[in-house]
């Protein structure tokens, strides 16, 4: 394909699309005498715009945060351009000074190339949300996740002059190559960027672009071939260096029975698909495609939130005859099981059904984020169930139970599929190998617990009662392989719970319920952003774990700039009961410079015995 070169600065790709060579490739979409840039490089493009008849740049639309892409943004801003950035890299533009101020230097095993961030905050005017679109004049740029070269990278796909164009950042390089191989390291020496890149180029191939316009190197004129070459090379390298991860490249659904599918044991957290004879589907959980998307280790940046990338859906619709996904039922509130639900709701119209004890956390994660593993996006709850409630979907009859186990906010869903009684047990029950003879391994069922997940000693009694009551034939857990269950397994499970509770009690002072309960006092909302001069109400939830009635008295301790409106309260609770105390503070009218999060605590007395400032919350002033 021959293209007209203009004074060695611009290459005309189509009638309204140009390439400018700088520290990165800068692409210009033109409409009349106005234009937008895909990435900015040094900003040198401003000196040459008159050559192509452009007098004003409206937007700079970034594919990722690296400074070779954005170090000229300030020049564009001075000329009136707005800056649009990927949502998961926003903090590396407008809060990058804070990033550098807190970046770990020594004992650092984070190999991600966030070190190639700019040094000065860049004001952001628009956020580019995954799977949404950025519209300018008659051009609609589809925002496609392109995780790989960086965690938050995007590609932009648009119809320009009759061609489908993909602006791919540094996801892929001409000839089926990677622009920077070292960018594939996220944690120390792990190369998991290969898995992300493979997933991203696989999704890009479904878009069938006519051209890929990368941030570096020549235009990719045969995207299909280039993607095929890169996929093949990535697979070979994964097979050589981490063969246990090769299955992550496949993204296949597996049949448990005729009407029950799952994503396989290498999905980050199991999700299950129940098929109806009418071609509809119901999901149990929907998390990440594989565990590396969690970023819970050294490769996590402090200002980051978890990013979900859709998976398995093309296969579900194309190969299994599914016409519609009606609903998703999360087994529990944790992000690795729920992070895909907002995507299903926004883009496929899927409803979310849940036990009522889980609904507040899913609907308002910021309020409840003292609980570990909360996903940051609120989830709309379309149907709430009571504990033990029976309901039907298509030809199936279900029963759902509130079963607090690994977390207080947990359920178990029971139904019969293809003549087998199935229990979807989330992260409550797993099999643990206890002995091996030759090729045979004996495994006993265990009950998990995490103390910060609002563990209370009485919770696992409910787990034991429910599992003995329902006696499923097969367990579909939240992680790992499914396994069979029977009365003997239920007895082993019950015995495990009894033994563990006994040991917990032996290790704890009396009352053991109090000294094993981290959240006997909880302050809500845990996170709040308040306008200057506005009031913020807090609810202190308290549990009486003592064997007799107790009085709980609380006083709210706020930062010195804040005004106490209603700063204390008391409540008398009978043994085993819960209650709440309401207190209020007011944000300062003129907050000091540099106020970010500030700590609010509640000092608590139990029958006049001081417990100290036990419960905490975080407040932040939003300037007018």
Q: Are residues 109 and 30 in the same domain?
A: yes
* Shared-domain flag, residues 233 and 266: no
Looking at the predicted structure, is the pLDDT value of residue 491 above 80? yes
**pLDDT value at residue 6:** 47
Domain ends where: 195, 226, 244?
Answer: 244
Please count the structural domains in the chain: 3
Is 569 a domain residue?
A: yes
Region 63-81: mean pLDDT is: 98
Extended beta strands in 178-337, E state? 211-214, 254-257, 260-262, 272-275, 280-284, 324-329
| Residue pLDDT, tens place only, 353-403 | 999 999 999 999 999 999 999 999 999 999 999 999 999 999 999 999 999
**H or E segment and range at residue 58:** strand 56-61
- Helix boundaries (H) for 246-398: 313-319, 335-338, 341-348, 359-363
* CB distance 253 to 320 below 8 Å: yes
Note whether 420 and 460 are within 8 A (CB).
Answer: no
CATH code of the domain covering residue 261: 3.60.15.10
Share of the chain above pLDDT 70, in %: 96
Sign of the dihedral defined by the CA atoms of residues 162, 168, 172, 175, in that order: positive
What is the arithmetic mean of pLDDT over 422-426? 98
302 plus 400 within the same structural domain: yes
Q: Return the bridge partners of 397, or none.
A: 392
pLDDT at 505 over 90: yes
Mean pLDDT of 224-241: 98
pLDDT for 2 equals: 45
Any domain includes 219: yes
Residue 515 within a domain: no
Q: What is the pLDDT of residues 143-172, one digit of tens each?
A: 999 999 999 999 999 999 999 999 999 999
At 4, the pLDDT band (50, 70, 90 cuts) reads: very low
Residues 463 and 525 in one domain: no
Q: Are residues 571 and 613 in the same domain?
A: yes
User: Do 495 and 550 reside in the same domain of the chain?
Assistant: no
Q: Which of 113-122, 425-434, 488-497, 553-562 has the lowest mean pLDDT?
A: 425-434
Range with the poorest average pLDDT among 50-54, 236-240, 247-251:
247-251
Residue 542 has pLDDT above 70, yes or no: yes
In a domain, 513, yes or no: no
Whole-angstrom Cα distance, residue 101 to residue 262? 44
In-domain check, residue 512:
no
**pLDDT higher than threshold 70 for residue 440:** no
Structure tokens at 135: 């519209």
Instruction: Read off the pLDDT of residues 317-344 as tens digits, 9 standing for 90 and up.
Output: 999 999 999 999 999 999 999 999 999 9
What pLDDT score was predicted for residue 535?
Answer: 97
Mean pLDDT of 243-252: 92
With respect to residue 580, please indicate whether it lies within any of the assigned structural domains: yes
Beta strands in 75-162 (DSSP E): 82-86, 126-128, 133-136, 139-145, 154-160
pLDDT at residue 350 tops 70: yes
Same domain (yes/no): 41, 176? yes
Output the average pLDDT for the chain. 95
pTM for this predicted structure: 0.94
Domain-terminating residue out of 484, 507, 530: 507
E strands within 293-452? Answer: 324-329, 351-355, 383-385, 389-393, 396-402, 411-417, 420-426, 429-437, 440-447
Residue at 21 is within a domain: yes
Q: What is the CATH number of the domain that holds 582?
A: 2.60.40.10
- Residue 624 confidence (pLDDT) above 80: no
Instruction: Judge if 306 and 410 occupy the same domain.
Output: yes
- Looking at the structure, do residues 309 and 162 belong to the same domain, yes or no? no
Full domain range(s) for residue 62: 5-244
Phi/psi at 270 (5° precision): -60, 135
Residue 20: what are its φ and ψ, rounded to 5°?
-120, 130
- pLDDT at residue 297, rounded to an integer: 84
Reported as a pLDDT band with limits 50, 70 and 90, residue 268 is confident
What pLDDT, on a 0 to 100 scale, did the predictor assign at position 303?
87
- 280 exposure class (CB count in 10 Å sphere: 0-12, 13-18, 19+): middle
Give percent of the chain above pLDDT 90. Answer: 90
pLDDT tens digits for range 174-221: 999 999 999 999 999 999 999 999 999 999 999 999 999 999 999 999
Do 483 and 612 lie in one domain? The reply is no
Q: Is 424 helix (H, G, I), strand (E, B) or coil?
A: strand
Q: Is 465 in the same domain as 554?
A: no
260-270 mean pLDDT: 90
Q: Are residues 287 and 400 in the same domain?
A: yes
pLDDT tens by residue, 288-312: 999 999 998 888 888 899 999 999 9
- State which of 207, 222, 244 marks the end of a domain: 244
Residue 441 predicted with pLDDT over 90: no
pLDDT at 1: 47
């Amino acid at each position: 394909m021959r293209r007209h070169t203009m004074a060695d600065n611009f290459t005309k790709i189509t009638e309204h699309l140009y390439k400018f060579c700088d520290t990165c490739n800068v692409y210009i979409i033109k409409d009349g005498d106005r234009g937008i840039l895909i990435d900015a490089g040094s900003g040198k493009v401003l000196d040459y715009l008159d050559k192509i008849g452009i007098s004003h740049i409206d937007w700079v639309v970034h594919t990722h945060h690296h400074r070779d892409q954005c170090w000229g943004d300030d020049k564009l801003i001075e000329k009136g351009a707005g800056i649009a950035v990927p949502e998961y890299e926003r903090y590396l533009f407008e809060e990058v000074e804070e990033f550098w101020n807190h970046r770990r230097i020594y004992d650092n095993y984070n190999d991600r190339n966030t070190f190639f961030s700019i040094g000065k905050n860049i004001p952001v005017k628009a956020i580019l949300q995954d799977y949404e679109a950025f519209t300018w004049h008659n051009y609609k740029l589809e925002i496609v996740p392109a995780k790989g070269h960086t965690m938050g990278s995007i590609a932009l796909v648009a119809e320009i002059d009759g061609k489908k164009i993909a602006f791919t950042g540094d996801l892929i390089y001409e000839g089926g190559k990677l622009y920077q191989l070292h960018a594939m390291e996220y944690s120390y020496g792990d190369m998991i960027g290969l898995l992300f890149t493979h997933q991203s180029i696989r999704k890009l191939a479904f878009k069938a672009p006519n051209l890929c316009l990368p941030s570096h190197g020549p235009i990719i004129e045969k995207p299909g071939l280039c993607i095929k070459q890169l996929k093949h090379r990535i697979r070979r390298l994964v097979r050589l260096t981490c063969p246990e991860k090769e299955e992550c490249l496949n993204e296949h659904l597996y049949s448990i029975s005729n009407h029950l599918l799952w994503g396989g044991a290498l999905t980050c957290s199991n999700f299950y698909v129940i098929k109806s004879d009418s071609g509809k589907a119901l999901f149990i959980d929907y998390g990440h495609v594989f565990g590396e998307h969690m970023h819970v280790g050294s490769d996590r940046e402090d200002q980051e939130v978890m990013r979900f990338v859709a998976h398995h859906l093309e296969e579900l619709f194309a190969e299994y005859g599914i016409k519609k996904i009606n609903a998703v039922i999360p087994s529990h509130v944790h992000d690795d099981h729920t992070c895909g639900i907002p995507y299903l709701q926004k883009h496929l119209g899927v409803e979310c059904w849940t036990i009522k004890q889980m609904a507040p956390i899913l609907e308002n994660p910021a309020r409840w984020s003292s609980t570990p593993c909360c996903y940051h996006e609120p989830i709309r709850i379309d149907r709430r169930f009571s504990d033990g409630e029976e309901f039907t979907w298509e030809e199936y009859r279900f029963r759902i139970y509130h079963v607090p186990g690994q977390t207080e906010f947990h359920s178990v869903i029971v139904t019969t599929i293809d003549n087998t009684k199935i229990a979807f047990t989330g992260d409550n029950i797993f099999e643990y190998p206890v002995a091996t003879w030759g090729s045979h391994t004996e495994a006993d069922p265990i009950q998990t617990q995490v103390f910060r997940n609002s563990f209370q000693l009485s919770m696992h009694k409910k787990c034991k009662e429910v599992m003995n009551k329902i006696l499923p034939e097969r367990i579909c857990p939240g992680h790992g392989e499914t396994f069979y269950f029977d009365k003997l397994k239920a007895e082993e499970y019950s015995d495990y719970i009894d033994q563990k509770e006994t040991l917990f009690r032996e290790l704890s002072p009396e009352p053991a319920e109090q000294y094993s309960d981290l959240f006997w006092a909880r302050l809500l909302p845990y996170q709040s952003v308040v306008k200057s001069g506005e009031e913020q109400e807090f609810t202190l939830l308290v549990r009486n774990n003592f064997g007799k009635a107790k009085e709980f008295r609380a006083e709210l301790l706020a930062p010195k700039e804040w005004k106490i409106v209603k700063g204390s309260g008391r409540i008398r609770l009978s043994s085993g009961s819960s209650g709440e105390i309401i207190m209020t503070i007011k944000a300062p009218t003129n907050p000091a410079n540099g106020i970010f999060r500030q700590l609010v605590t509640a000092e608590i007395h139990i029958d006049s015995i001081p417990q100290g400032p036990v419960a905490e919350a975080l407040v932040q002033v939003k300037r007018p």
